[in-house]
Amino acid sequence: MDYPEFASPVVSKLPEEGIITCTSPSNIALVKYWGKRPIQLPQNASISFTLDSCKTTTSLTYKKQGGIKEDFDFNLFFEGEPKPDFKPKIRSFFERIQEYLPLLNQYTFTIETSNTFPHSSGIASSASGMSALAYCLMQLEKKINPDISNSEYLQKSSFLARLGSGSACRSIEGPVTVWGEHPDINGSSDAYAIPFPFPVHQNFDEYQDTILLIDKGEKQVSSTVGHNLMYDHPFAAKRFEQATANVSKLKEILISGDLDAFIQVVESEALTLHAMMMTSLPYFILMKPNTLSVIHKIWEYRETTGSKVCFTLDAGANVHVLYPNTEKNQVLDFIINELVAYCQNGQYICDKIGLGAKIV
């Protein structure tokens, strides 16, 4: 066991049956995680805003079995329908976390999950989905280990979520989280995310994220494949260094509230992420023509109005438009009048910075 601090206590009596429901949001990275090493450890530290309304709700029904089974016993429903094609991902998640949660093969589970955002909208459903499931499983563990402290509980939830999907570990808490060991961030770890351990400037209170759904098609290249292409990438070492330096810069920016500096780091990170995709072998492009049109419109709007709006991207064509709450009305007008035309079927989602996973 690599992380004995996350071992489960040995107990003689397990709860018989019940149901646990929780929600967990998506998150948007400001400094990106792109490149990992086994098992699910990041090549550089990343920082994200936890979102508020883009979230997954997961209900975990558990029933104790007679004995210990060889295989995991679970059913999976997504928006009310059985989802056999999601099962291999959950099975491999269970395999990875079994040593930290030995109760897993002593239960029959039914996992029912739904998202507030459209599936395949390009919004990272693995972050909200895996963090919601990890959080539910930790609620079950809490029943056998009621003395676990809140911080241990959150840390282990994040630790388990990471083993499902790297970015998922940043969704357990909010409003700003850091994942990956970094010399300037006390308490940071490759194994789990922590809340940003400094006061965040009020300029970021209620910070807005409007997600423009530019292209809702299935991604041609999954994040997992993209991460793996960083292994032999000619610019990998420099990129990891740059991300480390950007975490240091962003730390100061989040404390000082310097929005011009924020824009520079965040947009550079987004474009660098896509530059890594374009310069890997095989190379690929996830942006669409409308992604670029939107970026140019944002730059033009900023130039003419002095607004502090900026954009970031994740591994897809959609654009996250980030802006201070104080500019909410003006920027939303701009989005509706000038950007929605570039969205597929005019679709966009208004979200903002949020607080992480919750029991329902």
Contact status, residue 127 vs residue 165, Cβ threshold 8 Å: yes
Alpha-carbon torsion (88, 102, 139, 190), positive or negative? negative
Would you say 112 or 314 has its CB closer to ligand DP6?
314
- DSSP state letter for 7: P
Residue with tokens 């994220």: 209
Closest CA to 76 of 58, 50, 102, 63: 58
**CB of 29: closest distance to ligand DP6 in angstroms?**
3
Closest CA to 294 of 328, 331, 243: 331
Position of minimal CB gap to ligand DP6: 166
**CB of 56: closest distance to ligand DP6 in angstroms?**
14
Would you say 61 or 121 has its CB closer to ligand DP6?
121
Would you say 227 or 288 has its CB closer to ligand DP6?
227
**CB of 68: closest distance to ligand DP6 in angstroms?**
29
Rounded alpha-carbon distances, angstroms, from residue 177 to 30, 82, 123: 10, 33, 18
What are 245's two structure tokens? 């330096």
Nearest-Å Rg of the Cα atoms of the chain is 20
Would you say 92 or 98 has its CB closer to ligand DP6?
92
What are 205's two structure tokens? 């209170």
**CB of 222: closest distance to ligand DP6 in angstroms?**
8
Q: Which residues pair with 107 in a beta bridge?
A: 64
Would you say 22 or 163 has its CB closer to ligand DP6?
163
**CB of 167: closest distance to ligand DP6 in angstroms?**
3
**CB of 205: closest distance to ligand DP6 in angstroms?**
23
Residue with tokens 């007679």: 66
Count of H helices and E strands in the chain?
Answer: 8, 14
Would you say 20 or 250 has its CB closer to ligand DP6?
250
Would you say 55 or 103 has its CB closer to ligand DP6?
55
Binding residues (CB under 6 A) for ligand DP6: these are 29, 32-34, 40, 46, 124, 126, 165-167, 223-224, 227, 273, 314-315
**CB of 48: closest distance to ligand DP6 in angstroms?**
6
Contact status, residue 204 vs residue 257, Cβ threshold 8 Å: yes
Contact status, residue 242 vs residue 276, Cβ threshold 8 Å: no
Contact status, residue 163 vs residue 190, Cβ threshold 8 Å: no
**CB of 13: closest distance to ligand DP6 in angstroms?**
35
Contact status, residue 345 vs residue 61, Cβ threshold 8 Å: no
Would you say 316 or 331 has its CB closer to ligand DP6?
316
Closest CA to 336 of 320, 348, 325: 348
